[in-house]
Amino acid sequence: MPAPPANIRNAIITGWGTSQPEKILTNHDLAEMMDTSHDWIVERTGIHSRRVGGSTVGLSVESGRQALDRAGIDPKEIDALVLATTTPDRCVPASSAAVQQELGMRCGAFDVNAACSGFVYGLVTAHGLIAMGANKVLVIGTDTLARITDWSDRNTAVLFADGSGAVVLEATESGEGQLLGWHLDADGSAERFLYAEIGGFIHMDGKEVFRRAVRIMVDSAQQSLAQAGVSADEISLIVPHQANIRIIEAACQRLGVPIEKAATVLHNTGNTSSASIPLALGAAIDANRVNPGDLVLLVGFGAGMTAASAVLRWGDGLPHHRSGGR
Ligand code: ACO
């Protein structure tokens, strides 16, 4: 992947939002529905509970509104809405159109489907729009996987869940912040390992997905790091796709990033696909784990099989970091 051209308009994150449905489904609940156990799920995945319910539009509106409020932005100031989702509420129109309308925005809006890599695909696309002159872009990652999960299939039902996360990106002329490196990948030949027909349930070869996931996450992250010209030990925070704690541990180990630097929420979110990275990023921001100047690595993988990563130099755009005058 060629490096970003020098002197392009860059961007910083100025607001964030998250939302999850109210209904909590614990491992114990699942054990009453199928032949599984709390201990097996925790040991093999790290997941204790997950949230299910709601619609893609409803969850997106909630996280999007929160992000706009925190950024202190009127929805009408947004120049584009990018909604990453694998589970739109309808085939047509795109769910982003309904989100745009409900949030009271007047701008272009489109869905991006890159499965669990979708949020990073959306974030990179938003940076491209900003390089082309957009000033403010809302990026949302939302999935309602419960609707395409077979709740009698223990191979998949213990993993998937629903949620949403959003960020506001604002252009910066001063060189602060910045997307330093990015990488997007897809391998259509791997389709058979993870897919859902329209109107059908997710089918997955878990072992094969696991094996490929670690490899493509590490490969994508290394390409972004190389493009950014930084080494893994300079990374302050890694925000990986929240599929399985063992995948995250293996990827961190191969990258040479201590697991303590990983943002993880999967223990109580499960795998929320496009929402998983912004949910984990939001939790890290809430916990004051991100500060101006930090190098943050986002990295995801998903059906496709896709992979995506981005290295960000964190700016001072969040309300509690603002030095004033923005
Ligand atoms: N509860 C209890 N036992 C189970 C369960 C379950 N839910 N599922 C499988 N088992 C059994 C198996 O039958 C097997 O039994 P056996 O040894 O008697 O044959 C045993 O547990 C081990 O099964 P494995 O499939 O080898 O378990 P593994 O350690 O591979 O874990 C898992 C399975 C969790 C699915 C893992 O392979 C995984 O996480 N894969 C990646 C999945 C993933 O990340 N998917 C999302 C991609 S992102 C996207 O785009 C949506």
Q: Specify the ligand 1 atom closest to the Cα of 246.
A: 39
209 lines ligand 1 (CB under 6 A): yes
Low-confidence ranges of the chain (pLDDT < 70): 175-177, 323-326
Task: Find, among 205, 186, 197, the residue nearest to 305 by Cα.
Answer: 186
Determine which residue's CA is closest to atom 49 belonging to ligand 1. Answer: 302
Residue 3 is predicted with a pLDDT of: 73
Inter-residue contact 274 to 142 (CB < 8 Å): yes
- Contacts of residue 206, Cβ cutoff 8 Å, sequence gap at least 6: 155
Tokens representing residue 57 in the block: 């539009």
**Any catalytic annotation for residue 267?**
no
Residue 325 is predicted with a pLDDT of: 43
Determine which residue's CA is closest to atom 44 belonging to ligand 1. Answer: 243
**Any catalytic annotation for residue 183?**
no
Amino acid, single-letter form, for residue 31: A
Catalytic residue among 10, 27, 116, 183: 116
Distance 155 CA to ligand 1 centre (A): 6
Distance 154 CA to ligand 1 centre (A): 8
Distance 209 CA to ligand 1 centre (A): 10
Distance 315 CA to ligand 1 centre (A): 39
**Any catalytic annotation for residue 271?**
yes
Whether the pTM exceeds 0.85: the reply is yes
Q: Specify the ligand 1 atom closest to the Cα of 273.
A: 51
- Contacts of residue 309, Cβ cutoff 8 Å, sequence gap at least 6: 120, 182, 183, 217, 220, 221, 223, 224, 297, 298, 299, 300
**CA distance linking residue 102 with residue 302, whole number of Å:** 29
Number of C-beta neighbours around residue 293 at 10 A? 12
The DSSP code sequence of 207-259 is HHHHHHHHHHHHHHHHHHHHHHT--GGG-SEEEE--S-HHHHHHHHHHHT--G
Residue 5 is predicted with a pLDDT of: 77
Residue 323 is predicted with a pLDDT of: 63
Residue 169 bridge partners (DSSP): 13, 137
The DSSP 8-state label assigned to residue 149 in this structure reads S
Tokens representing residue 22 in the block: 């109210």
36 lines ligand 1 (CB under 6 A): yes
Determine which residue's CA is closest to atom 39 belonging to ligand 1. Answer: 244
